[in-house]
Amino acid sequence: MSRDLNPVCPVAARFLEDLKLNGKKPRTQQAYVRAVRKFTEFLGHPPDQATEDQLRKYLLFLVDSKKWAGSTINVAQQALKLFFRITCPRDWPVLKLARVQTELKLPAVMAIDEVHTLLKLVEKPSMHCFFTVVYSMGLRLQEALHLQIADIDSKRGLVHIHRGKGAKDRLVPLPHSTYLELRSYWAMHRNPVWIFPAEGRNHKLAPTAEQPI
């Protein structure tokens, strides 16, 4: 975050505080602050001194010159809209006008045999178990990283995922083969809390680690 937030720019610091109060997650905070920083670089002066015409030119610059993907432009637009709504309120028509049409593409899906081939190449036990969990249960990376012993319900074959996307909890089916690999890997470190504990530089801290990988 320190690279994206100039401490000598009070308005940027205020925007970060506003994002926190608005309930935005750390990654969103980072992306939005970075977007405002890029706008500031374009302006050459603090963003709270910008005019509507300068904002319009910047948004057109992103579309016409940067050739960014729609999703990337959308992040920049959303960040600037929020900045000029909660931190430096402006009632500018261009803020309502800006829209991005994102492309809806089907994701590339690997065949099961391809996934199994890749997993066979992962020799480190922690990483093999981690990627097996991610793939077999359809978890996001952070969800898998923060799995705890208490989240595993082996009797019902379920895993309790805490604060997933949208800060929502959910129950995910636990394949028996994945459960066996989880149990085998956990037996290697027996951390009382984490499934994937941080190992430390000497790879010996897993049993007592207080944080995940």
Q: Would you give the DSSP letter of residue 173?
A: E
One-letter amino acid of 34: R
Secondary structure of residue 62 in the 3-state scheme: helix
| Contact between 125 and 188 (Cβ < 8 Å) | yes
How many residues does this entry show for the chain? Answer: 213
pLDDT (0 to 100) of residue 101: 64
pLDDT (0 to 100) of residue 72: 84
Q: How far is CA 35 from CA 64, 98, 163, in A?
A: 17, 15, 26
Cα angle 180, 184, 190 (rounded to 5 degrees) comes to 130
Q: What's the predicted TM-score (pTM) here?
A: 0.54
Phi, psi of 159 (to 5 degrees): -125, 130
pLDDT (0 to 100) of residue 7: 45
Query: Widest CA span of the chain, in angstroms?
Result: 62
Domain ranges of the chain: 10-97, 112-208
The CA distance from 128 to 148, in Å, is 17
194 strand-pairing partners: 148
The CA distance from 53 to 45, in Å, is 15
112: enclosing H helix or E strand: helix 112-121
Judged on CB neighbours under 10 Å (0-12, 13-18, 19+), 65 is exposed
pLDDT (0 to 100) of residue 103: 62
pLDDT (0 to 100) of residue 1: 41
Domain 10-97 indexed as CATH 1.10.150.130:
yes
The fold adopted by the segment(s) 112-208 is: hpI Integrase; Chain A (1.10.443)
- Give, for all 213 residues of the chain, the pLDDT tens digit: 444 444 457 888 899 999 999 999 888 999 999 999 999 999 999 999 999 999 999 998 988 876 777 788 889 999 999 999 999 999 999 988 877 666 666 677 888 888 889 889 999 999 999 999 999 999 999 899 999 999 999 999 999 998 656 567 889 999 999 999 999 999 999 999 999 999 888 778 999 999 998
pLDDT (0 to 100) of residue 2: 40
| Contact between 31 and 76 (Cβ < 8 Å) | no
Q: What is the mean pLDDT of the chain?
A: 87
